[in-house]
A and B are shown apart, each in its own frame.
Chain A
């Protein structure tokens, strides 16, 4: 009996998310918004037990997964279960998250014990960096890569052109349009 109740709840989640996503991908903005809200709640439930030792990371990872689902929404095949699709993406992002966290912890281990008056500022800066990464993730490659190479990594336009295989003019146009798009996103978000 318990199992069938659980199964019924899963079926309801599946049908609800699926209908909202299908309508959202077809262009229904309010359905898509409802999908994302339901998805965030679903992701929290799915990821919380996996992040039991790091509850602080939960919301970060939920956001990463939201963004990944959004960016990859064209890979959902409506004949397939949507929860399986979401879980596969969330699991993939979760593993990636762990991998990057390991790298970060090795890099900051030495500093952990010191009481640093700049820690709050550093924390804010880290938040800002993560926000920027999310916004950048929304840009198409032809805008994102020039900005990352030139504005963040400090390479020259010519180097960025080499790295991306774009022409120098295309790199400049990409930076210009990408920064404009970023500014617009930051304005609408506040």
Chain B
């Protein structure tokens, strides 16, 4: 086919694209993924039974802010890496800052405890299940985000996979925090991040295969 003929055909079949079409599609997918994880959490795990009491504790809100900011940053990052040549900007630095923040609080908490009590602070009472539940809840989020990102045009596929995985893990951690009874920063800074790392690693491995176009 001659290039001119191809141009004719493309121009004839083009039509208008509504402004904000791509962003809206991405936002809807992120909302559906988050809703799926929330539904899974509500039906299988349920919110923590002392929820009404927990919301009066400052640390509950610190925890929520920690996971909410990771979820927000991850989702914006996933959106940016879906577009060719779109710089990711300060997203990685902001994620590092949030993690450093929770580690700082954790260091204070650990310093206030006698050495023999510190390990209990890190392990909490649910460390064996927490990362796996977060990884499990990340599945619907990952599916929805990956669908939206496939409809875009990521050009660095491993990075796109890593970002999709991180974002879905962080959204899952946010949803999980409604169920989770733990409030200690040493716990959050270890096991929540471990839970987010699982889908991030899986996403990095799948990126090339998943996002090729």
A contact set with B: CB distance below 8 Å: 24-27, 29, 32-33, 36-37, 40, 59, 62-63, 66-68, 70, 72-77, 80-81, 84-85, 87-89, 91-92, 127, 130-131, 134, 138, 185, 188-189
Size of interface on B: residues with Cβ below 8 Å to A: 27
Query: 29 A-B contacts, Cβ less than 8 Å apart?
Result: A24-B14, A25-B16, A27-B16, A29-B12, A33-B7, A37-B7, A62-B3, A63-B1, A63-B3, A66-B3, A66-B6, A67-B6, A70-B10, A72-B152, A74-B21, A74-B152, A75-B82, A77-B86, A80-B83, A80-B86, A84-B85, A89-B84, A92-B153, A131-B1, A138-B9, A138-B10, A188-B8, A188-B9, A189-B5
Q: Is B69 an interface residue (CB 8 A)?
A: no
Contact partners of B117 in chain A: CB under 8 A: none
Contact partners of A189 in chain B: CB under 8 A: 1, 5, 8-9
Given contacts A70-B14, A72-B153, A75-B153, contact A92 B84 (CB under 8 A): yes
The prevalent SS among residues of B at the interface is: loop
Contact partners of B14 in chain A: CB under 8 A: 24, 29, 32, 70
Q: Which B residue's beta carbon lies closest to that of A128?
A: B1
Q: B7, B82, B83 — which one has the most chain A CB atoms within 10 A of its CB?
A: B7
Q: How far is the CB of B21 from chain A (nearest CB, A)?
A: 6
Q: Is B112 an interface residue (CB 8 A)?
A: no
Contact with A along B1-29 (1 / 0, CB 8 A): 10101111111111111010110000000
Contact partners of B22 in chain A: CB under 8 A: 74-75
Asked if residues B84 and A72 are in contact (CB atoms below 8 Å), the reply is yes
A80 to B86, CA, bound (A): 7
A126 to B107, CA, bound (A): 66
Q: Which B residue's beta carbon lies closest to that of A33?
A: B11
Asked if residues A26 and B10 are in contact (CB atoms below 8 Å), the reply is no
Contact partners of A131 in chain B: CB under 8 A: 1
Choose from A27, A32, A36, A87 the contact partner of B85 (Cβ within 8 Å).
A87
A73 to B85, CA, bound (A): 13
Q: How far is the CB of A89 from chain B (nearest CB, A)?
A: 5
A91 to B5, CA, bound (A): 24
Asked if residues B9 and A66 are in contact (CB atoms below 8 Å), the reply is no
Contact with A along B143-186 (1 / 0, CB 8 A): 00000000011010000000000000000000000000000000
Contact partners of B82 in chain A: CB under 8 A: 75
Asked if residues A75 and B3 are in contact (CB atoms below 8 Å), the reply is no
A88 to B213, CA, bound (A): 13
Known: A24-B14, A84-B85. 11 other contacts (CB 8 A): A29-B12, A37-B7, A68-B153, A75-B153, A84-B84, A85-B84, A85-B85, A92-B153, A130-B1, A134-B6, A138-B9
Contact partners of A88 in chain B: CB under 8 A: 84-85, 155
Contact partners of A73 in chain B: CB under 8 A: 17
Asked if residues A26 and B16 are in contact (CB atoms below 8 Å), the reply is yes
Contact partners of B13 in chain A: CB under 8 A: 138, 185
Q: Which B residue's beta carbon lies closest to that of A62?
A: B3
Contact partners of A127 in chain B: CB under 8 A: 1
A37 to B152, CA, bound (A): 24
Asked if residues A40 and B3 are in contact (CB atoms below 8 Å), the reply is yes
Choose from A24, A77, A134, A188 the contact partner of B83 (Cβ within 8 Å).
A77
B95-126 contacts to A (CB < 8 Å): none
